[in-house]
Chains A and B, each alone.
Chain A
Amino acid sequence: MRPITEYLHSNLTPGESGDLLWIFVYVVVIFLGISLAVLLMNWLERKILAHMQIRLGPMRVGPHGLLQSIADALKLLIKEDVIPSQADKIVFWFAPIIVVMTAFTLFLVVPFGRTHAVTDMNIGILFMLGVSSLGVLGVIMGGWSSNSHYPLLGSLRSSAQMVSYEIAMGLAIVSAILMTSVASGTGTLSMIGIVESQYQQHRWFAFQFFPLGLVALLVFAVAMVAETNRAPFDLPEAESELVAGFMTEYSGFRWSLFFLAEYASMIAVSSIAVTLWLGGWLRPFPNALSGAGWDGAFSFVPALTFVGFGGLCIYSASRMPKVRGMKLQSGGLAAFGMLLGAIGLLMCAPALRARVQDVYWFVFKVSIFMYLYIWYRGTFPRYRFDQLMKVGWKVLLPIALAVLILTALVGVRQELFSVVAEAVR
């Protein structure tokens, strides 16, 4: 019992405290949480996209199709596992595993809160960049080993795309890292450290050196869509051109692994953006609405969200048609609403309130990016391959480079002035 409570009072990440038990717990919780988030994201994407396209989306499996993604996951699991006879079997087998491994490994350093990260590496952001670029290896392997033309073209597109967008992405990240050194004089690559320095500077990096931070965020926001192969940069799996791109020959469980990895890496890159520019787990409006009173008020928001969603579920359940066939559906939705409400009420407890709000704000910010992903997909046509390269190399890269140089210059402007003044004298 003692090690458990000892850790809880320590205010450290499990990695820092070296507590193996808690590391294990965190890894399991994050793995399950991300998997659940992917399922939820799948449902949300289909629902939101459907409403954008004047459709209803899934409505049959569970109330408002809530269980649709679980049903789909089950279907994929029990499907026949096909490996094409001409495929390079070992590589074909390894490709989805690599993709999933890299996508989930990223979450080792993602700080969901001051203490809510598996570990705090001092090269956290570098680790994230490195691991996320490993994912393309799996894509290339999958496309190559399928021994088929569409996957081959898809994987070649994917590799070229990832390589060219990674650079703009990296430069944008560097400009954010430069900003960490503004107040303290020494910068940091640690994900937690980056958020902490935003806290110390009382400013999210998106608004630091306005508009430099914002431009860097925009560059990153574009590059991360390309990095995760999502519309309008979904060329590797362009449905109308390459059928399903590098995933054409995959089916069943292996295909669902690619799917899982895609959504997991979407969440991962969104959390990089949130950590670097939008203050990570910090609550919004730290300057305008500061003080203990506001802190207390904001700490109730997570509980309120849950209670609100619970109420919404119960309200929708009450509006469902009162016929025999719908009893299970409306009852299920009402029960789900009550569960959410109960969780919300539980969260009002002071001990829990303090612990969950970090995670809440982090997830809240990430979900804004996730919504944007869906919105892009509903709105934009797809880029052509050469245009995609042009955007990467001729637009994003110069902008990111300029932002980086300007950030550096603005950061050292005082020293610069004194040096110039010295020289003039």
Chain B
Amino acid sequence: MNKGFYESLDDVEQGRTFLDSTELVLNMGPQHPSTHGVLRVVLKLDGERVNGIECIIGYLHRGIEKIAESRTYPQFNPYTDRLDYVAAVSNSFAYCMAVEKLIKAEVPKRAQYLRVIMAELARLSSHQVWLGTHALDVGAITPLFYLFREREEILKIFEKYCGARLTTHAFRIGGCQYDAYEGFEKEVLRFCDLQESRINEYEELLTSNRIWLQRTKDVGVISGKDCISLGVTGPVLRGSDVKWDLRKAQPYSSYEEFEFDVPTGKSGDTYDRYLVRIEEMRQSLRIIRQAVAGLPEGPIMAKIPKVLKPPAGETYVSMEAPKGELGFFIVSDGSTQPYRVRVRPPSFVNLQALEKMVRGRLVADVVAVIGTLDIVLGEVDR
């Protein structure tokens, strides 16, 4: 072999191994420190090189879509919190918007702004969990604690707003159940100032760290074209230089009224995705600041009937969740319960890119790429 042992993809393609030895089948997961829950990855290894990879999912399957068929529309709302549990607010947001579209309810402006503030806070907290665990996977154990320190502040705001920290059930169909509490604006703004400086702190730890650069640059590269054909969305897509953000492309909940940039990466590697997400955290703070400053007065709940019976029909509504496009497809037969609910989870679709990104790479890269895809198994398995 003249080519570098670890650089030749031809051998991988033709299933050749070093010295024609047999492949080592390594079962990573479902209990493994860095498969982010109960993902099981079966790796076919040639030494440390990954020749083949197979993801086995379903260990966290709870049949949420089926449950929806035996619940009324408002009853199903809390179940959505259990999809992407690190950004529960976003799920509820998307589901409520889908049902609101079915019943053609107009959400009051104040509720829309409140939703934006909460959803952006959820995006921040989701990105914090991502960065902490991703850095931990790559071997930096310290950032995790710094990130969870700030996440605690967000969870405190959630707790004060709706009483729950993780599975928030923050929104109701037609608006919000709770208005902003006393001193909400001040607290959120104070958090924004704190977070702004803390993001710089994270960057000090990682952005120009030589080992971090070596571990993330040119690792898990995926082109924008591949991303689109696989249906990959969110920061992963934007990291591959595709400027696609549903908040800009099809604004919902007054997102058109806020000024923010959509950061994109150039090469589509793990480092670019890291930079994109870091920048997204900054942009989220920008949106939150604008939303808090322009928070209008008025009702927080649309006038909707006590018993929800959407007219027969179907709808698909999607939004930019922290991990990508989160969509709810709801079929109504005119009764109080949905006939069918289908979730389009970003994590599940993004996970499909894993094989393309790690074939021919090393075991350590698999771990780094699973981290950079930012999957949550609650959403993958539903």
Indicate if the CB atoms of A54 and B149 lie closer than 8 Å: yes
When C-beta atoms are compared, the residue in chain B nearest to A232 turns out to be B211
Among A117-125, A238-246, A334-342, A406-414, the stretch that binds chain B is: A238-246
Complex partner residue of A380 from B26, B139, B144, B363, CB under 8 angstroms: B139
CA distance A379 to B31 in the complex (A): 27
Query: Digit string of B203-217 for contact with A (CB within 8 Å is 1, else 0)?
Result: 001100101101100
Query: For chain B, which range describes its interface: under 10, 10 to 19, 20 to 34, or 35 or more residues?
Result: 20 to 34
Indicate if the CB atoms of A384 and B364 lie closer than 8 Å: yes
Majority-rule SS of A interface residues: helix
Complex partner residue of B367 from A54, A149, A241, CB under 8 angstroms: A241
Residues of B within 8 A of A384 (CB): 214-215, 362, 364-365
Indicate if the CB atoms of A381 and B211 lie closer than 8 Å: yes
CA distance A153 to B149 in the complex (A): 35
Indicate if the CB atoms of B137 and A240 lie closer than 8 Å: yes
Indicate if the CB atoms of A381 and B140 lie closer than 8 Å: yes
Residues of B within 8 A of A49 (CB): 141
Complex partner residue of A240 from B33, B142, B214, CB under 8 angstroms: B33
When C-beta atoms are compared, the residue in chain B nearest to A152 turns out to be B24
Among A231, A378, A382, A383, chain B packs the most CB atoms within 10 A around the CB of A382
When C-beta atoms are compared, the residue in chain B nearest to A384 turns out to be B364
CA distance A384 to B211 in the complex (A): 9
Complex partner residue of B139 from A54, A156, A231, A386, CB under 8 angstroms: A231
Residues of A within 8 A of B209 (CB): 380-381
CA distance A382 to B206 in the complex (A): 12
Query: Digit string of B357-382 for contact with A (CB within 8 Å is 1, else 0)?
Result: 00000111101000000000000000
Complex partner residue of A241 from B24, B34, B47, CB under 8 angstroms: B34
Indicate whether B302 reaches chain A with its CB closer than 8 angstroms: no
Knowing A55-B145, A381-B140, A382-B138, say if A239 contacts B215 (CB, 8 Å).
no
Indicate if the CB atoms of B364 and A378 lie closer than 8 Å: no
Indicate whether A11 reaches chain B with its CB closer than 8 angstroms: no
Residues of B within 8 A of A52 (CB): 142
Complex partner residue of A381 from B6, B24, B215, CB under 8 angstroms: B215
Indicate if the CB atoms of B141 and A386 lie closer than 8 Å: no
**Docked complex: B126-177 residues within 8 A CB-CB of A:** 135-142, 144-146, 149
B311 to chain A minimum Cβ distance, whole angstroms, is: 51
Knowing A238-B364, A240-B367, A387-B214, say if A381 contacts B145 (CB, 8 Å).
no
Query: For chain A, which range describes its interface: under 10, 10 to 19, 20 to 34, or 35 or more residues?
Result: 20 to 34
Indicate whether B32 reaches chain A with its CB closer than 8 angstroms: yes
CA distance A380 to B206 in the complex (A): 9
CA distance A232 to B136 in the complex (A): 12
Indicate if the CB atoms of A385 and B364 lie closer than 8 Å: yes
Indicate whether A203 reaches chain B with its CB closer than 8 angstroms: no
Indicate whether B257 reaches chain A with its CB closer than 8 angstroms: no
A48 to chain B minimum Cβ distance, whole angstroms, is: 12
A380 to chain B minimum Cβ distance, whole angstroms, is: 5
**Docked complex: A183-199 residues within 8 A CB-CB of B:** none
CA distance A186 to B159 in the complex (A): 74
CA distance A241 to B366 in the complex (A): 9
Indicate whether B54 reaches chain A with its CB closer than 8 angstroms: no
When C-beta atoms are compared, the residue in chain B nearest to A379 turns out to be B142
Residues of A within 8 A of B33 (CB): 239-240, 243
Indicate if the CB atoms of A240 and B6 lie closer than 8 Å: no
**Docked complex: B205-248 residues within 8 A CB-CB of A:** 205-206, 209, 211-212, 214-215
B66 to chain A minimum Cβ distance, whole angstroms, is: 34
CA distance A385 to B367 in the complex (A): 13
Indicate if the CB atoms of B149 and A380 lie closer than 8 Å: no
CA distance A242 to B33 in the complex (A): 9
Indicate whether A377 reaches chain B with its CB closer than 8 angstroms: yes
CA distance A175 to B139 in the complex (A): 33
Indicate whether A53 reaches chain B with its CB closer than 8 angstroms: yes
**Docked complex: B9-35 residues within 8 A CB-CB of A:** 24, 26-27, 32-34
Among A53, A378, A379, A384, chain B packs the most CB atoms within 10 A around the CB of A384
When C-beta atoms are compared, the residue in chain A nearest to B4 turns out to be A386
Indicate if the CB atoms of B142 and A53 lie closer than 8 Å: yes
Indicate if the CB atoms of A380 and B32 lie closer than 8 Å: no
When C-beta atoms are compared, the residue in chain A nearest to B26 turns out to be A149
Indicate whether B261 reaches chain A with its CB closer than 8 angstroms: no
Indicate if the CB atoms of A381 and B146 lie closer than 8 Å: no
Residues of B within 8 A of A242 (CB): 363
Residues of A within 8 A of B212 (CB): 381
Residues of A within 8 A of B137 (CB): 240
B317 to chain A minimum Cβ distance, whole angstroms, is: 37
B139 to chain A minimum Cβ distance, whole angstroms, is: 3
CA distance A149 to B34 in the complex (A): 17
Indicate if the CB atoms of B211 and A54 lie closer than 8 Å: no
When C-beta atoms are compared, the residue in chain B nearest to A231 turns out to be B139
- In the A-B complex, the 9 residue pairs with the smallest Cβ-Cβ separation, listed nearest first, are A382-B139, A240-B34, A53-B145, A381-B140, A381-B139, A384-B364, A381-B138, A240-B137, A381-B211
The 21 listed contacts between A and B (C-beta, < 8 Å) are: A53-B141, A53-B144, A55-B145, A150-B26, A157-B48, A232-B211, A240-B34, A241-B363, A241-B367, A243-B32, A243-B33, A377-B141, A379-B142, A380-B209, A381-B206, A381-B215, A382-B140, A383-B211, A384-B362, A385-B362, A386-B6
Given contacts A55-B145, A381-B206, A381-B211, 4 further A-B contacts (CB under 8 A): A53-B141, A240-B137, A242-B363, A382-B215
